[in-house]
Amino acid sequence: MKPGKYSPHGRQQRRQPGRQEKDEGPTKMEKILGNLVWLSALLCASGISYVCWLLLSGKLSPSYYSDPQALQLLEKSLSSALLLFGFGTWALAIMVIARWPTSEVPGWVLLAAGTALYVAMAPMLQRMSPDIDFFGLNSPARGLFSVLRAHAAGLLFVGGLRVAVGMVLRRPLAATQETSRTAQLPSVGGQESVRTITRQCWELVACQRALRDTCRRFKQRVSCWRVKSGCYCDANIAAALMQATREPQRVGDAPTRRVTSRARQSAAFLTKQSNLMPNMAKKGNCMACALYQEHQRFKFRLFSWIIFPVSLVILWFIAEPLRRLWMQMDHTLTRCFGNVSLLPGPGSPQGGALPATMDVSWVFVVVVGVLMISILLKAAEYAVFKRGL
């Protein structure tokens, strides 16, 4: 006989698929993206290894490619290595972000990799090939330097963009959603009032019109958190709500049933919190109240609206100083790395300028702006949800 629908064996069999779904590993798409990450990393490593071999073997030395035929062969080899490196690098960046879309780690890794490649590239190239020529117009090393710095600038931009999406957009949204879930009270049919931006206690979704008629906070037009007394922390107000639902003329109608459910919810919350914190009814601990947390969520949303334009105005005034700071840092770090590298040979150029690449100082300004906005948002989140501002 097969296990029945209501037999213990039947219930156990019905629960097993759910348990298997809960314990299952990565999805098929995640496995595919994981394999593509490893393949992209292999391509990137192959390209950079090819470039390092060309440097360490001395093929980028001016004495090697003085012959036109050798120069042509070197340019083909260098083009293949850079193509392999570029394709692998950007495929790896895209696949890592796609594989872990909710993690901020890929953005910071791209920022660190782009910064390291941009700043330390010239000294490290000179260390691997001491007589490398960056300044000749037809020098392969000049093209190598320009392409690698362009990739570094691109990694800086993509990493900064990913950090911006994670810290400026996703993190505040996740924080407000988590707060909303924590503070959410079952709505019982009423409509939310929009008279104030941050919401008074009687304007929240949980408060019903039939409930407001008997609530002293609504009659006084004073929010419960201002006087430390409300339907979720004051036993007298909760009892008055329960008493209001027992009026004979209202027994059985839909508003009364909704108010009864809401009043019982208030009483249950009050009993639970009173057991945990006996003095809550006297002190009015608003930080433990779901209604107050919902009010704070609206307040945090208001602060987030203000932070963005204020940060843009501040960034407008400090953009040029930040660009000068980046150029000074670039010069200082390049000189420090150059002191570690081997000294150039007697035939190496002693002056000139490195080939110009895209202006990464603006990327630095954007990254600083993203960090400033994220810090201000975290400060506002701490002040609103932890300190009760």
What is the per-residue pLDDT across 150-175, written as a single tens digit (0 to 9) for each?
A: 888 888 888 877 877 776 666 555 55
Give the pLDDT band of residue 62 (cuts 50, 70, 90). confident
Report the predicted TM-score, pTM, of the whole model to 2 decimal places: 0.47
pLDDT at 285: 66
User: Could you tell me if 196 and 255 are in contact, meaning their C-beta atoms sit under 8 angstroms apart?
Assistant: no
pLDDT at 15: 46
d(CA 188, CA 204): 12
* Cα radius of gyration (the chain): 32
Q: Indicate if the alpha-carbon torsion angle 370, 373, 379, 384 is positive or negative.
A: negative
User: Could you tell me if 308 and 373 are in contact, meaning their C-beta atoms sit under 8 angstroms apart?
Assistant: yes
d(CA 41, CA 45): 6
d(CA 126, CA 134): 9
Q: How many CB atoms lie within 10 A of CB 238?
A: 23
pLDDT at 261: 60
d(CA 238, CA 6): 41
pLDDT at 346: 42
Contacts with 102 (C-beta within 8 Å, 6 or more apart), sequence order: 170
Give, as one character, the DSSP assignment of residue 198: S
Task: Find the mean pLDDT for residues 11-19.
Answer: 45
Q: How many CB atoms lie within 10 A of CB 360?
A: 23
Amino acid at 84: L
pLDDT at 226: 75
One-letter-per-residue 3-state SS of 323-375: HHHHHHHHHHHHHHHHHHCCCCCCCCCCCCCCCCCCCCHHHHHHHHHHHHHHH
Q: Is the pLDDT of residue 356 over 50?
A: no
Contacts with 190 (C-beta within 8 Å, 6 or more apart), sequence order: 205, 207, 208, 209, 258
At residue 226's C-alpha, the angle toward residues 225 and 231, to 5°, is 40
Give, as one character, the DSSP assignment of residue 270: H
Task: Find the mean pLDDT for residues 368-376.
Answer: 83
- How long is the chain? 389
Q: Is the pLDDT of residue 111 over 70?
A: yes
Give the pLDDT band of residue 265 (cuts 50, 70, 90). low
Q: Is the pLDDT of residue 311 over 50?
A: yes
Task: Find the mean pLDDT for residues 87-96.
Answer: 88
pLDDT at 49: 86
User: Could you tell me if 209 and 189 are in contact, meaning their C-beta atoms sit under 8 angstroms apart?
Assistant: no
pLDDT at 258: 53
Which is more confidently placed, 270 or 40?
A: 40
Six-digit token pair at 379? Answer: 């400060």
pLDDT at 117: 82
Six-digit token pair at 107? Answer: 């953005």
Contacts with 302 (C-beta within 8 Å, 6 or more apart), sequence order: 197, 198
